[in-house]
Structure 1
Amino acid sequence: MAPLSAGHLIVRQLEEHGVNRVYTVPGESFLDVLDGLHDSPIRTVVCRQEGGAGFMALAESRLTGLPGVAMVTRGPGAANAMIAVHTAWQDATPLVLFVGLIPIADRGRGAFQEFSLEGWFSTTAKRVMVLDDERRAADTVAEAMHLAVSGRPGPVVIGLPEDVLVRSAGTGTVPPRTPASAQPAPEDIVELAGRLAAAERPLLIVGGDGWSADDGERLAAWAAAARIPVAADFRAYDAVPHTSPAWSGWLGYGRADTLAARLDEADLLVFIGCARTDVLSDGYTRGAAAATILVLSDPEATGHAGRIDLHLAASPAVFTAALPEAAAARGHRDGTWMEALAADQLRFAVPLPDGGSGVDLGLAFGQLEDRLPDDRILTYGAGNATIWGARYLSHHGAGSLVGPRNGAMGLAVPAAVAAALLHPDRPVVAICGDGDFFMNAQELAVAAAQGAAPLVIVVDNGGYGTIIAHQRRHYPQRPSGTALANPDFAGWIRSFGGHGERVEETAGFGPALERALNSGRLALLHLVTDPATMAPDTANALTQAAAAAAGRETDAEPVPAALEGIR
């Protein structure tokens, strides 16, 4: 075999790792890699903006467990991709970003689109690597793919000087490295069982990436038998099936007040795949005193705040395979505690009318829950509109949710496009606010070009709803910088050959949904809502928070964390 260029060898090494798709906005700085993709079985998904390409790669990773791969050009392209790298960093999601660079000889001379790759990404990536030696092409890719999934998963950035890519690099790929998989010590499992058996009010909290449907089902069945409720971290709602008798809802933005109170009542917390973070704990204010067991593959427990009584360095798959007998973990505990939390969640998930003009989202999302099959995949960006989906739409297995845990807007659409490419046989629904939707709406052109057919729900209240809610609390009667002027989103999607409808009344939502789902095409429903309507329980949250700030008592319920930060 004739020697390959470094660019072509990079592609061959990605093939060795089982990469099926790369997401890219092309650039002249990595033309040789693009040429290598021409004859490769890897599918090249051409995106419309680098942030969208990065988000698609992140969604691929979230749904498969393998590092998603994006390729962008230097300078402005890398700048656009930064949002996906930050999301992967904070969310602990494997991602490999290739960035084309100027030729080595031009460094330090202010060349066109020159920038410092390490200066930009070193604080938000596990490692920043630059391929200065073409002979290291295969090894560098293999190392990046390994690093992305090892320990605490995250993004790895590889710089590709364009002159290095065209040099001869040989023919040899290298075998992919198998990530180390720590096994919990038998004595730790015994201690876990003993602590659970002795607890009166234990609570399992699941989260993070790396869950399979089997892992979630196994844990949920075990927890139900051991009489232990299971809650989820923010945007990890799909880790366990919601049909389990142990399912108790989620923590973080939009969570039920009742579950937050239970977090304070628990006498033993077991975090599996996630840590006690600020979002989960309402700003480090809840659940701090309880005895804590951490099941997390990251030996450094990055991001975990507070007490750790036992740390099992294991992935969800390894841990669920090593669970003790349910009877040993149950002790003398009956089902009272678990059943109370499950009942709280069942009440919380019953769709309630919101009132106001336009489409009532409480009722509309109740219809959406009833109409979608169990194998649906839901994608979210950030903002006020996502709270209805999180509260009223259920999940039946891992790998059915993609959403940014760092609050990044603009992820819902590109994530839905990637999910539809990955699972063309499953219904994929993006839940967006009008602000979130138009941050990366251009990626629906990719869906049209690739034959993908997600359904996009756009909630249009004419403004940045989350920020409006905060303004009403801190600066009442002084709206500023939050209004949006929107086009006809339904007409816009029809210009791509898709199915689009504008829905202005609740009664019209059900029939419009049916037509969209039956169209077999890329579809969008533009839901016009009352700008005064905030997410469920938000008005109560504002009342309570304002009273607390003024030092007053109020008859309102405890403050729910229903307000999600935009960035």
Structure 2
Amino acid sequence: MTAVINSPEVSQMLETSAGHLIVRQLESHGIQRVYCVPGESYLDTIDGLYDSSINTVVCRQEGGAGIMALAEGRLTGLPGIAMVTRGPGAANSMIAVHTAWQDGTPMILFVGLIPTVQRGHEAFQEFSLEGWFGTTSKRVYVLDDPAQAGAVVAEAMHLAVSGRPGPVIIGLPEEVLRERVPNVVAPVRALASMAVEESDIASIDALIDASSRPLVIAGGEGWSVDSALALASWAETRALPVATDFRSYDVLDNSSSAYVGMLGYGRSQQLSDYAGRADLIIYLGAVRSDVLSDAYSLGVNATTVVVSADPHLVGHYGRCDVQLVAPPARFVKRASEISEPRKDKGDWLAEGRAAWVEYSTPLRDGGTGVDLSQVMEQLQALLPADAIVTYGAGNHAIWPQRFLPARIYPSVIGPKNGAMGVGIPAAVAAALVFPARQVLSVAGDGCFLMNGQELSTAVSQGTNIVILIVDNSCYGTIRQHQEREYPGRPSATELNNPDFAALARAYGAFGVRLESAEGFADAYMQATAFEGPAVIHLIVDSSTRGPAISRENVTE
């Protein structure tokens, strides 16, 4: 006889709301945090988070929430999750989606929407989800069928990390989330298996042996501590110089004898010339993009190998002689196991390494205010080897990316698309993902005030981040361009700043203001000893743009 189940209690266990099922689905994928600014359009999902194992991180602005999700994706390899409401909330989150799209970082943005019956009537906060996000995301879903809530999330999680990672958008109509659905979590989708055969390694090794000036350029997502070590082992065994893509320099321990520097904005002219002379370039997870190649001018005539999980090579320009569709982490692991030692032909590797050592040694700037070269020199000694460094965009970012070496993966978060305001929310996420590691954020005065309100989130979450605010009272990068293109006519770049140290103390954080580098070490030790976030406000010479150098420095 078949039993008939009609108990209300049993029925309740077999059903749930679509909003609650979304939360259960995220739990099944191992999601630990959701970054959000709450809105009435997705209240049922917020209610599902109430008794969830997922930590709901409440942010002060949707741009900050999105950037925290972006940072989580960069640090963990799982899609970072942000939740925002319709209209203005979705608009504020666009900067994070664009950054994730151009940087190739996995994230999912859930957007609460108006009730379906109100569509097409210019209802309160109505907008076109596809129209706004369709060109800067891998896919836009609208959950019109509540029964598909689990399946749509599972598909989005898979898509965000497949091939070239990126953002996925899921629209959540308000009334659909409250519909009762079977309480069934969809299975986690497996990623495609991309094998690296011994013959693949052999063919690339043959190209390396035949070249006189080989160069590896590594970057992208999907790396790990082990694969970064494998890259170092392979490169050192094969006597291969390794440069990295813009703001991806943590894929290789910068103390490795194979590391020759980071390409892109802030690179040295000597590294640019070096890459331009290479006769073989092997891209690992990176592609020949405009920033990496100085506007498609570097390496366009070199024999080109691209190892990437993206079969379409989105963003790659020009020549590609060999394409291996495989995660770069898998390639270097296999290559480090079977490749034979190679004798360096001439002084090619030594030349590249020596140039990087020279370029990464701080030079005294002089001038008034805090000498940032002295600060960087002290930080080289003060920062632990596993420190995480974050920054946004602007000339202030040149200092940490040039002088603060990355030793393990992951340890750097900086936007490849040049988005300002990334550093502070990224630091909050980094401290939540890795609470035992020191997190340092270097911010310009302009960059800080684009998402500085997330200092409140840093306090409420009890994070121990240290923020350096480099205050030259102007938008330094734009002023630099003006000085070159319109000499003697600076405009629209001056800033009138608050006392950032006092502002930090008002939030409940540690704050100190410095006008010279002499007290920096003591201030930094006080900041790290403080239970909570800390701000060190550095007053620098108004003419400070980037580090003093003996050769051309290309900046954003």
Equivalent of 1:216 in 223, 228, 234: 228
The aligned amino acid for 1:448 is V
Distance 1:377 1:310 in 2: 35
The yes-or-no answer on 1:30 pairing with 2:42 is: yes
For residue 410 of structure 2, what is the aligned residue in structure 1? 399
Aligned runs of 1:197-216 on 2, under 5 Å?
197-216=209-228
Q: What letter corresponds to residue 196 of structure 1 in structure 2? A: I
Are residues 310 and 537 of structure 1, via their aligned partners in 2, closer, same or farther at CA, if it must alter by over 3 Å? farther
CA distance in 1, matches of 2:331, 2:512: 46
Q: Within 5 A, what are the aligned runs for 1:220-239?
A: 220-239=232-251
Q: Identify which of 491, 500, 503 aligns with 2:514.
A: 503
For residue 181 of structure 1, report the CA deviation from its aligned partner: 3.1
What's the counterpart of residue 6 of structure 2?
none
1:186, distance to aligned residue in structure 2 (A): 3.5
Paired amino acid for 1:19: I
1:445 aligned partner: 456
Question: Which deviations, in whole Å up to 9, do the C-alpha atoms of 1:454-503 show, x marking residues without a partner?
Answer: 00010000000000000000111111100111001001111122111000
Match of 1:93 in 2: 105
Which residue of 2 is the match for residue 551 of structure 1?
Answer: none
Say if 1:461 and 1:528, in contact at 8 Å, map to a contact too: yes
Which residue number in structure 2 is paired with residue 189 of structure 1?
201
Distance 1:189 1:91 in 2: 27
Asked whether the 8 Å contact 1:181–1:315 carries over to 2, the reply is: no
SS across alignment from 2:251: coil
In the other structure, the counterpart of 1:125 is 137
Task: Find the partner of 1:115 among 119, 127, 137.
Answer: 127
Alpha-carbon displacement from aligned partner over 1:42-69 (angstroms, at most 9, x marks no partner)? 0000000000000000001101000000
Q: Corresponding residue for 2:368?
A: 357
Contact 2:364–2:548 (Cα < 8 Å) also in 1: no
| Residue number in structure 1 paired with 2:33 | 21
| Partners of 1:348 and 1:68 in 2: CA distance | 35
Structure 2: gaps of 5 or more residues:
1-12
Contact 1:467 1:482 in 2 (8 A): yes
Q: What is the deviation of 1:326? A: 6.7
Match in the other structure for 1:477: 488
The aligned counterpart of 1:456 is 467
Pairwise mapping of residues 64-463 of structure 1 onto structure 2 (< 5 A)?
64-323=76-335, 328=340, 330=342, 332-334=343-345, 336-463=347-474
- If the length of structure 1 is used for normalisation, what is the TM-score? 0.94
Is contact 1:213–1:397 with CA below 8 Å preserved after alignment?
yes
Contact 1:221 1:244 (8 Å CA) reproduced:
no
Give me the whole-angstrom Cα distance separating, in 2, the residues matched to 1:128 and 1:537.
45
Q: 1:398: how far off?
A: 1.1
Which residue type is aligned with residue 36 of structure 1? G
CA contact (8 A) 2:362 2:403 kept: yes
Please give the secondary structure, in 2, of the residue aligned with 1:74.
Answer: coil
Which consecutive residues of structure 1, in runs of 5 or more, have no partner in the other structure?
A: 541-556
Question: How big is the shift at 1:213?
Answer: 1.3
Aligned residue type for 2:532: R
- For residues 441 and 86 of structure 1, the distance between their equivalents in structure 2, rounded to whole angstroms, comes to 20
| Shift, 1:335, TM fit | 6.4
* C-alpha displacement of 1:120: 0.3
- Tell me what 2:4 maps to: none
With over 3 angstroms needed to count, the CA separation of the structure-2 counterparts of 1:22 and 1:359, relative to structure 1, is same
Q: What's the RMSD between the two structures over aligned residues?
A: 1.3
Secondary structure of 1:439 counterpart: helix
In structure 1, distance between residues paired with 2:265 and 2:244: 12
Among 465, 470, 478, the alignment partner of 1:467 is 478
Aligned partners of 1:197 and 1:333 also within 8 Å:
no
Cα deviation, 1:140-196, whole Å, max 9, x if unaligned, reads 000000000001110000000001000011110011101113123443221101001
Question: By how many angstroms is 1:537 displaced?
Answer: 5.1
Amino acid at match of 2:478: I
2-structure distance, mates of 1:494, 1:59: 26
Q: Distance in 1 between matches of 2:204 and 2:106?
A: 29
Alignment of 1:524-535 (within 5 A): 524-535=535-546
- Residues of 2 paired with 1:5 and 1:350: CA distance? 58
SS at 1:157's partner residue? strand
Asked whether the equivalents of residues 227 and 335 of structure 1 are also in contact (C-alpha less than 8 Å), the reply is: no
Identity %: 54
Residue 512 of structure 1 deviates from its aligned partner by 1.2
Measure how far apart 1:453 and its partner are.
1.5
Question: C-alpha displacement at 1:327, in angstroms?
Answer: 5.6
After superposition, what is the alpha-carbon deviation per residue over 1:321-374, rounded to whole angstroms, capped at 9, x for unaligned?
2216676472x5346211111111111111111121000111111111110100
**1:181 and 1:54 mapped to 2: Cα distance?**
30
Q: Which moved more, 1:181-190 or 1:428-437?
A: 181-190
CA–CA separation in structure 1 for the residues paired with 2:419 and 2:25: 31
